[in-house]
DNA sequence: ATATCATGCAACCTTAAGGTTGCACTTATA
DNA sequence: TATAAGTGCAACCTTAAGGTTGCATGATAT
């Protein structure tokens, strides 16, 4: 089997994924791409406060996390959302909250002991 | 209505949430709390590579994001997972990927045009 | 009462995140 | 073929993330 497990994401992958989403500008980029479809860095920079170069760096981080992919079209480069990754993030969160009931029970037991 | 919207999380909240999950040590803390229930910073530091103080800082960030809560028990402070927040994160991801099909359609249209 | 154990606080360090500017290099269009 | 538009690259800056160490403070058990 390759380096990817059955669930399709390693620990580092998950870290990159959430790191990528943990910035307001990148969240904004994700929202914009979701709403308006594929856009170039220049187009994205028009709406944003920051420079095109800043947007480019954010796009690189998003792409490293697998959240966006790019494709050249003539002289411009279009970035689009890669939704499978978002599903993976959701799956991960499912896994974490699965143990929740057990955890809260243990806490209560510990705290309420005399 | 208060500052929180119907979904129960503002933009900054979401940012904090994903930022908190975007670090390997904090992910590890979350996993440990999920598996073993409520623990103190000192207990968590035993398993970790880093110092207790580093763990404390990570716990503060997790708590700011609403992912853990603390409760004093005698001379120690126990931290436990707060699962509702994980659900909120999932809900957010649902919202993002909702527009996916539309986005990929637009990209394809743009790229495949002559 | 006192030795012990855990937490709290503060100072300090290193590095990477986030951003800007300037210029070179392609690609399209007038 | 100029010229404009868009991307790519590199240098540079500022600040906060992440971590460490040392000591003070508060709670516990003997």
Going by C-beta distance under 8 Å and a sequence separation of 6 or more, which residues neighbour residue A112? Answer: none
- Give the per-residue pLDDT at B1: 37
Q: What are the structure tokens assigned to B85, written together?
A: 């927040």
CB contact under 8 A, A73 and B110: yes
d(CA B60, CA A112): 24
Strand partners, B72: B77
- Give the per-residue pLDDT at A10: 78
Best mutation target, A30, A97, A111, to test chain B (most B CBs within 10 A): A97
Per-residue pLDDT at A12 exceeds 80: no
CA-based nearest residue to A34, from A19, A20, A44: A44
- Give the per-residue pLDDT at B83: 82
- Give the per-residue pLDDT at A93: 86
Phi, psi of B65 (to 5 degrees): -80, -5
The C1' atom of D13 and the CA atom of A39 lie apart, in whole Å, by 29
Q: What is the pLDDT of residues A60-94, one digit of tens each?
A: 999 999 999 999 999 999 999 998 888 888 888 88
Q: What is the pLDDT of residues A45-57, one digit of tens each?
A: 999 999 999 999 9
- Give the per-residue pLDDT at B105: 56
Query: What is the rounded average pLDDT for all residues in chain B?
Result: 83
CB contact under 8 A, B107 and A78: yes
Q: Compute the average pLDDT of residues B52-77.
A: 96
H/E stretch holding B8:
none
- In angstroms and rounded to an integer, the radius of gyration of the C-alpha atoms of chain B is 19
**DSSP 3-state percent helix, strand, coil across chain B (nearest 5):** 65, 10, 25
d(CA A42, CA A51): 9
Q: From residues 2-41 of B, list those within 7 angstroms of strand C by Cβ.
A: 40-41
């Amino acid at each position: 089997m390759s380096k990817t497990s059955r669930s399709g994401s390693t620990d580092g992958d998950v870290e990159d994924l959430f790191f990528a989403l943990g910035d307001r500008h990148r969240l904004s980029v994700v929202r914009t791409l979701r709403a308006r479809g594929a856009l170039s860095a220049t187009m994205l920079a028009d709406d944003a406060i920051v420079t095109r170069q800043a947007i480019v760096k954010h796009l690189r981080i998003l792409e490293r996390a697998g959240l966006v992919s790019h494709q050249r079209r003539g002289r411009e480069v279009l970035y689009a959302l890669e939704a499978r990754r978002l599903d993976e993030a959701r799956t991960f969160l499912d896994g974490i909250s699965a143990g929740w009931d057990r955890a809260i029970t243990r806490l209560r037991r510990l705290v309420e002991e005399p």
